[in-house]
Amino acid sequence: MINIIVNALIYIFPAYVANSSAVLFGGGKPIDLGKKVGGKRILGDGKTFRGFIFGALFGSLTGLGINIIKPGYFPVFLGLSLSIGGLIGDIIASFLKRRVGVKRGRPVPILDQIDFVIGAVMLGSLVEPPSGKALIFILLATPLIHLTANFLGYLLNFKENPW
Ligand code: CTP
Ligand code: MG
């Protein structure tokens, strides 16, 4: 049991780092360049190039770090694919939020917490899929971990909203 949890957390950790790095280091030019479709922003000001690049960078470095600490355990490109997948999942969720009229930064519970994990596992699985049990743990535990992390980020003034 403990083993499954530890393996699950190690597997998804680069995606968590990618996601939080985007929050910490994001800002500046939005990926949608401010463009709208149907009177609504394509993605909104919350998805920026800087967030994506730093997210991909630090998430990949996290994967490489795990690879160094536990040689042979973590494929070299797993961190990169988890990170890019996570960042894309987050972007797709913003796209969907804008289409149904949810303003940037307004919460959509569950989707906001799970969007990057779904993207991360989908792209990460191309390199190495998690075990079925690890996946279940990741999906169940992430909303809780994410909410806690976001609340801390809000208290520390890194985030505008506590979600
Ligand atoms: N961020 C970024 N670039 C990204 C992802 C996130 O710059 N690719 C930063 C933005 O400053 C964003 C913050 O991280 O405001 C929090 O991300 P998130 O909660 O996903 O975005 P929201 O601002 O809540 O916007 P949305 O409603 O589109 O989810
Ligand atoms: Mg949000």
In this prediction, residue 111 carries a pLDDT of 94
Which range, of 24-28, 59-63, 90-94, 151-155, averages the lowest pLDDT?
Answer: 151-155
pTM: 0.94
Residue % of the chain over a pLDDT of 70: 100
Q: What's the pLDDT score for residue 98?
A: 98
Tell me whether residue 19 is exposed, middle or buried, using C-beta atoms within 10 angstroms of its C-beta: 0 to 12, 13 to 18, 19 or more: buried
Do 62 and 14 form a contact (C-beta atoms < 8 A)? yes
Of 144, 36, 50, which Cα lies nearest the Cα of 95? 36
pLDDT surpasses 90 at 153: no
Percent of the chain at pLDDT > 90 equals: 87
Out of 35-39, 70-74, 159-163, the most confident range is 35-39
**Could you tell which of 41, 48, 97 is best to mutate to test the pocket of ligand 1, judged by most ligand atoms within 8 Å of the CB?**
48
Calculate how far, in angstroms, residue 129's C-alpha sits from the geometric centre of ligand 1. 26
Question: Backbone phi, then psi, for 150, in 5-degree steps?
Answer: -65, -40
36 pLDDT above the threshold of 90: yes
* Residue to substitute in 47, 52, 58, 147 for testing ligand 1 pocket (most ligand atoms within 8 angstroms of CB): 47
23 lines ligand 1 (CB under 6 A): yes
pLDDT in tens, 68-94: 998 888 999 999 999 999 999 999 999
pLDDT at 149 over 90: no
Cα 41 from chain centre: 21
Q: Where do we find the tokens 């796209």?
A: 95
User: Is 124's pLDDT higher than 90?
Assistant: yes
**Checking DSSP bridges between strand 36-37 and strand 40-41, what pairing results, if any?**
antiparallel
Q: Which atom of ligand 1 is nearest to the CA of 112?
A: 29
Q: List pLDDT tens digits, range 13-33.
A: 999 999 999 999 999 999 999
